[in-house]
Structure 1
Amino acid sequence: MLTMVTACSSKPRRFDPDAGSAAGVTVDPDKICEPGTQELCYGGPPSTMGAGLCKAGARTCNDEGTEHGPCEGQIQPAIELCDTPADENCDGAVNEGCIYPSCADVPAGSPSGVYLHDPGASGAAEAPAVYCDMESEGGGWALLYNSVGSDRGTTMAFWDIPYLHRFRSKGEPSLDANVYQGWLYHQGTEYRDEVEDIQGKVAQLFHARSAGIEPDTLHFKAPELVSGESEIYEAQFAAGWSSSDFDGDTWAENCSVKYSRVTQHYSSCWRYSLGSDADSPVDDGGWGPHLHSASARRLGLHVDGSGYTRVKRLSRWVRR
């Protein structure tokens, strides 16, 4: 009969002759296992078994019952490869230490998460970390910015980003934190804006393309709406860009100054804001991201009863 045990021991298991004699059965003292039986075996660190690609194998007791054969089928930790979506070293992380030109170069099938990027585009001394969405619309999307609502009242101040810092980084890449990585505008030809409402429902606001970006004004070159909310696309992508010390929007005044010094793309002025309300008072306790409630309703999102509803998250993704 084929039997399996849940783990293998580094020491041979011998039959107990006394136990056999007590039962009136003659036991060969050289036997350590029952011929033909199998047990699981694994030669790697115990903590890695079952993680990543690593798995146990099986070894079979020989015909004499004196020893086990080789451990067949096991996979032990190996060197991490950068061109596969697998966790070869079985440490629970994929492609750690690997550096990619963009999220689009991360191997297809890799999980969404933080990956290191070529520092050339960012101007950083070391490879910057970028959050990559590897699942939506074919994957390969880099998180350019993310605004997260907070009762602590800290989000609004985060988005006061001066003109000279328009291509710099701020915050750590995560969908649960405020992050801005303006240098990713240099890479982009495709953009996708999305929102998550207070109840956790996520909706895409629009998908757009551009032929690049004007570095002095942050105006998109030849912007084009692919799909989604045309009003939000016009207000937050196709028109202008303003910070508190640069007025590049299409309104007679500075939209950023008008709305709590929030730096973002504007027309006259916004359908969503990364840090300001449009209902009085516009600071809204420092909560942060708001979306025009009429747009939220069209998308089937929760609204809080105001003209510009609080949302949990507003995110912009870019793909080259």
Structure 2
Amino acid sequence: MPETQELCYDGPPSTASAGACKTGIRTCNDEGTGYGPCEGQVQPADELCDTPVDESCDGRVNEGCVYPSCASVPAGSPSGVYLADPGAAGATEPAAIYCDMEVDGGGWTLLYSSIGSDEGTTMAFWDIPYLQRFSSKGEPSVDTNVYVGWLYLHGTEYRDEVEDSEGKVAQLFHARTTGVAPDTLRFKDPEIVSGDSDIYNAQFAAGWSSPDFDADTWTENCSAKYSRVTQHYGGCWVYNLGSDADSPVDDDGWGPHLHAPAARRLGLAADESGYTRVRRISRWVRW
């Protein structure tokens, strides 16, 4: 019938109304014999790396784009996995990283995340030898155990956060540094921006140890004492990625623990032990 209109779309049906794609309208001609062109429709196109839009309409933003860091991902992009040019540790191709694009202006890269597990597998993940300090372990996700050591060679801004047993997330501290000493992983000129100074001093501003290397500030090797967990240590810790400080320190291999008084200070749930289990501890880096 002349002037009758209907919705139309010439792209793959699965992409209609997804991402940047949208349906159009076509109008029946004056003779009532057929419809004219589909006007106003947007079909899938190649991804543009400087926009936060899913131009290909496949549910993934900026796929195939390679960025120097998460801070270079376009503002407004969703948090998730992106490709970065690692430029470190002998890597020869882009590496997948997880970007937080929401907290404190976004642009944060996930350096590590320790996830508590009733399967008892988390503690062993953090047994990282000295020669593997710039290596990567696990897949980039805030919900799985992951360690991306080469990011230490780039970071100038850090924040640590914890998720308690009830799912509440709190920032432990926000810090800045001018770099890191590659041989010891000690931060250069560290300073706290905000957060808990006790945790900052114990887990950032002091030393670093692995089971076979001692650069923490305690008289003994904190990593060797606490279940071979590699991380930054003071003397020895307020949080640990894989060990408990209550006996037995392995705690059935659960993983991340936080000093219970610190948890309560942050308004987080704590059990009756001195070092409470938490669901997750993560470190983010930006540059």
TM-score normalised by the chain length of structure 2? 0.98
The total of aligned residue pairs comes to 287
Counterpart in 2 of 1:305? Answer: 272
Matched, 1:120 2:87: yes
Question: In structure 2, how many angstroms separate the alpha carbons of the residues matched to 1:275 and 1:314?
Answer: 10
1:238 is paired with a residue whose SS is coil
Aligned ranges 1:225-244 → 2 under 5 Å: 225-244=192-211
Give the AA of the match of 1:51: A
Counterpart in 2 of 1:65? Answer: 32
Question: In structure 1, how many angstroms separate the alpha carbons of the residues matched to 2:86 and 2:253?
Answer: 33
Question: In structure 1, how many angstroms separate the alpha carbons of the residues matched to 2:19 and 2:92?
Answer: 31
Q: Deviations over 1:64-123 (max 9, x none)?
A: 222222211110000111111111011111111111111111111110000111032342
Q: CA RMSD in A?
A: 0.9
Matched, 1:269 2:236: yes
1:157 is paired with a residue whose SS is helix
1:119 is paired with a residue whose SS is coil
Instruction: Determine which structure has greater relative contact order: mean sequence separation of CA pairs < 8 Å that are 6+ residues apart, divided by chain length.
Output: 2
Counterpart in 1 of 2:69? Answer: 102
Counterpart in 1 of 2:261? Answer: 294
Question: In structure 2, how many angstroms separate the alpha carbons of the residues matched to 1:52 and 1:123?
Answer: 36
Task: Assess if the C-alpha contact under 8 Å between 1:122 and 1:184 holds in 2.
Answer: no
Q: CA deviation at 1:132?
A: 0.4
Matched, 1:137 2:113: no
Matched, 1:283 2:250: yes
Aligned ranges 1:6-45 → 2 under 5 Å: 34-45=1-12
Q: Deviations over 1:270-293 (max 9, x none)?
A: 000000001110000000000111
Matched, 1:207 2:168: no
2:179 is paired with a residue whose SS is coil
Task: Assess if the C-alpha contact under 8 Å between 1:54 and 1:75 holds in 2.
Answer: yes
Q: CA deviation at 1:220?
A: 0.4
Task: Assess if the C-alpha contact under 8 Å between 1:172 and 1:179 holds in 2.
Answer: yes
Q: CA deviation at 1:50?
A: 1.4
Question: In structure 2, how many angstroms separate the alpha carbons of the residues matched to 1:198 and 1:97?
Answer: 36
> Larger Rg: 1 or 2?
1
Counterpart in 2 of 1:217? Answer: 184
Question: In structure 2, how many angstroms separate the alpha carbons of the residues matched to 1:122 and 1:200?
Answer: 35
Identical residues among aligned pairs (%): 77
User: Mind listing any 5+ residue stretches in structure 1 that lack a counterpart?
Assistant: 1-33
Counterpart in 2 of 1:258? Answer: 225
Question: In structure 1, how many angstroms separate the alpha carbons of the residues matched to 2:171 and 2:89?
Answer: 27
Q: 1:193 aligns with which of 160, 164, 171?
A: 160
Alpha-carbon distance change, 122 to 39 in structure 1, aligned in 2, over 3 angstroms: farther
Q: Deviations over 1:28-68 (max 9, x none)?
A: xxxxxx22221000000001111111110111122322222
Question: In structure 2, how many angstroms separate the alpha carbons of the residues matched to 1:302 and 1:55?
Answer: 46
Task: Assess if the C-alpha contact under 8 Å between 1:85 and 1:95 holds in 2.
Answer: yes
Question: In structure 2, how many angstroms separate the alpha carbons of the residues matched to 1:305 and 1:74?
Answer: 60
Matched, 1:318 2:281: no
Q: Deviations over 1:150-185 (max 9, x none)?
A: 011110000010111111111111111100001001
Q: CA deviation at 1:144?
A: 0.4
